[in-house]
């Protein structure tokens, strides 16, 4: 430390600002740090700023997760439910300074409102940085249709890690060959979003798909699972899968 003080005194004699000295000393002592993102522990839940639905149902759903991330205004949802998030991320225009002040101990990562990604996508990217292989998004289907549709596009873009849950259904995208766990008699719907899904073959559904093309004029709505899993093979494209609870 003495060497640092001597160096600063020397710098001061050369006309360096005292403010610079204070900042350098603070950095040396570790008092100024870049905001750190905590390590996430799977499973991870992302709480967005959409309608809550049944608060009791949502609170029970969130109890399954070891890491809860409040995405900007999703902090209001957590606050109403009495759920303390592990991390808060966003430009904080919806969370607001008053509510944020109620959680001084919770790590936060704040972005400028002038950005290319939405708060939700920034949260997803933080998860990907930590190589978390599965995250569930709550309160994502909002009253604003543009936000809801964009969140579905995010669900498609990050299909390898992301699922959306509501009070009534679980949503996720599938492509290629996959096996999907379900319960006998559970309702499932399969819809293309954008481009058609071609060469679709199913096994384990009441109304099977045989080399089907699902597009704007044909989709598999309210199909029925026959066992504890069903399989899909999709030659081209992808499908949005709805598992009704």
Residue pLDDT, tens place only, 233-245: 999 999 999 999 9
Please tell us whether the domain made up of 173-244 is placed in CATH 2.60.120.320. Answer: yes
Residue indicated by tokens 């969140």: 151
What was the pLDDT predicted at 36?
A: 63
Range scoring the smallest mean pLDDT among 22-31, 154-163, 201-210, 228-237: 22-31
> How far is the first Cα of the chain from the last one, in angstroms, to the nearest whole number?
62
pLDDT tens digits, residue range 151-190? 999 999 999 999 999 999 999 999 999 999 999 999 999 9
* pLDDT given at position 143: 77
Mean residue pLDDT of the chain comes to 89
- The reported pLDDT for the residue numbered 10 is 52
Supply the CATH classification number for the domain 44-167: 3.40.50.10240
Question: Of 216, 72, 66, 91, which is closest to residue 139 (Cα–Cα)?
Answer: 72
CA 122/CA 154 separation, integer angstroms:
11
Q: Which of 190, 188, 165, 180 is nearest to 229 (CA)?
A: 180
Residue 180 makes CB contacts below 8 A (sequence gap 6+) with 174, 188, 229, 230, 231, 232, 241, 243
DSSP labels, 106-165: S-EEE--SS-SS-HHHHHHHHHHHTT---EEEES-S-SSHHHHHHHHHHHHHTTTTEEEE
The two structure tokens encoding residue 8: 């600063």
Q: For the purposes of burial, counting CB atoms within 10 Å of the CB of 109, is it exposed (0-12), middle (13-18) or buried (19 or more)?
A: middle
d(CA 133, CA 187): 26
- State residue 56 phi and psi, 5-degree precision: -65, -45
Closest CA to 63 of 48, 77, 43: 43
Chain centre to alpha carbon of residue 51: 16
- What pLDDT does residue 20 have? 55
Q: What angle do CA 39, 44, 45 make, to 5 degrees?
A: 130
């Amino acid at each position: 430390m003495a060497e640092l003080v001597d160096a600063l005194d020397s710098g001061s004699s050369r006309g360096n600002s005292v403010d610079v000295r204070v900042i350098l000393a603070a950095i040396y002592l570790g008092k100024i740090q870049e905001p750190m993102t905590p390590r996430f522990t799977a499973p991870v839940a992302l709480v967005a700023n959409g309608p809550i639905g049944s608060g009791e149902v949502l609170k029970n759903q969130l109890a399954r997760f070891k890491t809860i991330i409040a995405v900007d205004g999703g902090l209001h949802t957590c606050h109403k439910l009495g759920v303390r998030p592990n991390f808060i991320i966003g430009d904080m225009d919806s969370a607001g300074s008053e509510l944020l002040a109620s959680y001084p101990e919770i790590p936060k990562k704040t972005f400028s409102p002038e950005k290319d990604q939405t708060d939700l996508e920034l949260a997803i990217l933080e998860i990907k940085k930590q190589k978390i292989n599965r995250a569930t998004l709550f309160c994502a289907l909002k009253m604003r249709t543009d936000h809801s549709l964009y969140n579905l596009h995010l669900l498609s873009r990050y299909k390898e890690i992301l699922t959306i849950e509501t009070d009534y259904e679980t949503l996720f995208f599938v492509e290629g060959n996959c096996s999907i766990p379900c319960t006998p008699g559970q309702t499932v719907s399969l819809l293309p979003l954008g481009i058609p899904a071609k060469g679709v073959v199913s096994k384990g559904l009441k109304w099977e798909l045989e080399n089907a093309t699902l597009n704007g004029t044909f989709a598999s709505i309210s199909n029925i699972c026959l066992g504890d899993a069903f399989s899909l093979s999709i030659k081209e494209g992808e499908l949005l899968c709805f598992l009704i609870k």
